[in-house]
C-alpha cells in the first residue's frame, strides 16, 4: 500500500511537470539495470556503436545511477514532445530530422528539468540530485520504460500511444518513494502495442534495424550523417533518402505516429531562414552562414565540414 505522503508527492510533481510543458512524467527506483547490462554488452561486442567510442566509457555508470548521484533513490523520467506543426518543404530540398528543426533540445529540456528539480527541492522535500539531458552516461530509454512512460518499439525507440516524437530527460535524486516502488503499480507495466507490425524494419533503406529491437547504428542514416567522421561508405550510395542530418523514416511509417500531436514550444519550430532553404542554398552555404544559422542548433554537432561532406555524398 502506498504511503499517503508519497502519493501526494507523486501528484504534485506530475502536475508541475505538466505545467512546465512536459508530456509525461514517471518514477522508477534507482537501482542497477541488470537486464540492460546484457544488451549493452551485446551492442558493444558487435561494434554496433561504430565510431561512437564514448559508449564504451563509464560502462558501470550507465547501469548504476548511484554512481552518478550518491545515495540516489529515485529516477524521475519526463517526455517532451517535439512533433512540429510546420514541416520543412522537401521539394528541391534536403531533409533534416524533425528534432533538429529548432533550438537545440538540450537547452530547452535542461532548463525545464532544473525548474522541476527546484520545485521538488523547495515544495516537496530537500533533495540532492542531478538533471540529465542526453549528455551523460544514462540509459534514458531504460528509465523511461521502467517508469511506465511507453514501450520499446521494434526500431529501438520509446513508443507511446501518442507516437515517438519525444525527447527524454531525467532527474536522478534522493527523493524517497519507497512505498510507491514496493506497490509495483500497474502503470509501470505498460503493454507493448507493436504487435506483428514490422513497418519500421521494412522501411529502413539501410537495414539498420537488423531484427526487432536490435539496431546496428553503423548502418543508421542518423549515425552516417552525424556521428560518422570520415567519408560515408559507398555502399550507402542512393540509400540516404536525401537526409542531410538525422533521419525520421522509421518514425514516420510507425502507425502510432499518426496519433502524434503538435508540440507547443515555439523554440522547436524551424526558423524562417531554414524554411526558405533549398538544395542550391545548401550547396552554396558558407562556414559563416552555417555558424550563424545553427549557433543554437543540434545541427552544429556535425560541423560545417560534416554537413558539406553529406551534401557532396548525396549529390555525387
Active site residue 134: yes
Q: Apex CA 116: angle with CA 172 and CA 296, to 5°?
A: 90
124 and 12 Cβ atoms separated by less than 8 Å: yes
* Residue burial 198-207, b: 16+ Cβ < 10 Å; e: rest: eebbebbebe
C-alpha to C-alpha distance for 1 and 150, rounded to whole angstroms: 24
Helix (H) or strand (E) holding 6: helix 4-19
Contact 204, 215 (CB under 8 A): no
Residue count (the chain): 316
Contact (Cβ atoms closer than 8 angstroms) between residue 59 and residue 166? no
Strand 24-29 vs strand 74-81: parallel, antiparallel, or unpaired? Answer: antiparallel
The Cα 316–Cα 308 span in angstroms is 12
Which of the residues 89, 92, 134, 281 is marked catalytic? Answer: 134
Please identify every residue annotated as catalytic.
Answer: 134
Amino acid at each position: 500500500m502506498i504511503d499517503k505522503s508519497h502519493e501526494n508527492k507523486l501528484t504534485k510533481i506530475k502536475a508541475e511537470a505538466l505545467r512546465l510543458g512536459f508530456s509525461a512524467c514517471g518514477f522508477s527506483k534507482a537501482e542497477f539495470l541488470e537486464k540492460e547490462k546484457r544488451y549493452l554488452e551485446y551492442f558493444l561486442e558487435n561494434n554496433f556503436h561504430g565510431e561512437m567510442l564514448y559508449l564504451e566509457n563509464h560502462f558501470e555508470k550507465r547501469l548504476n545511477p548511484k554512481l552518478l548521484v550518491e545515495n540516489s533513490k529515485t529516477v524521475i523520467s519526463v517526455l517532451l514532445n517535439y512533433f512540429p506543426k510546420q514541416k520543412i518543404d522537401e521539394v528541391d530540398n534536403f531533409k533534416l530530422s524533425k528534432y533538429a528543426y529548432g533550438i537545440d533540445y538540450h537547452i530547452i529540456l535542461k532548463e525545464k528539468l532544473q525548474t522541476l528539480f527546484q520545485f521538488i527541492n523547495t515544495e516537496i522535500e530537500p533533495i540532492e540530485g542531478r538533471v540529465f539531458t542526453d549528455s551523460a552516461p544514462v540509459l534514458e530509454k531504460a528509465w523511461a520504460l521502467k517508469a511506465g512512460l511507453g514501450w520499446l518499439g521494434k526500431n529501438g525507440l520509446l513508443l507511446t500511444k501518442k507516437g515517438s516524437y519525444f525527447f527524454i530527460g531525467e532527474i536522478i535524486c534522493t527523493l524517497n518513494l519507497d512505498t510507491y516502488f514496493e506497490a509495483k503499480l500497474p502503470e509501470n507495466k505498460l503493454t507493448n502495442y507493436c504487435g506483428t507490425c514490422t513497418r519500421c524494419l521494412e522501411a529502413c533503406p539501410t537495414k539498420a534495424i537488423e531484427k526487432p529491437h536490435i539496431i546496428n547504428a553503423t548502418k543508421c542514416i542518423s549515425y552516417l550523417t552525424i556521428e560518422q567522421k570520415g567519408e560515408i561508405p559507398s555502399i550507402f550510395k542512393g540509400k540516404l533518402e536525401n537526409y542531410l542530418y538525422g533521419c525520421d523514416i522509421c518514425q514516420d511509417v510507425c502507425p502510432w505516429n499518426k496519433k502524434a500531436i503538435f508540440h507547443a514550444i515555439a523554440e522547436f519550430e524551424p526558423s524562417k531562414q531554414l524554411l526558405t532553404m533549398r538544395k542550391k542554398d545548401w550547396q552554396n552555404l558558407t562556414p559563416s552562414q552555417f555558424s550563424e544559422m545553427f549557433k543554437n542548433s543540434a545541427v552544429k554537432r556535425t560541423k560545417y565540414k560534416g554537413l558539406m561532406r553529406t551534401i557532396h555524398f548525396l549529390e555525387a
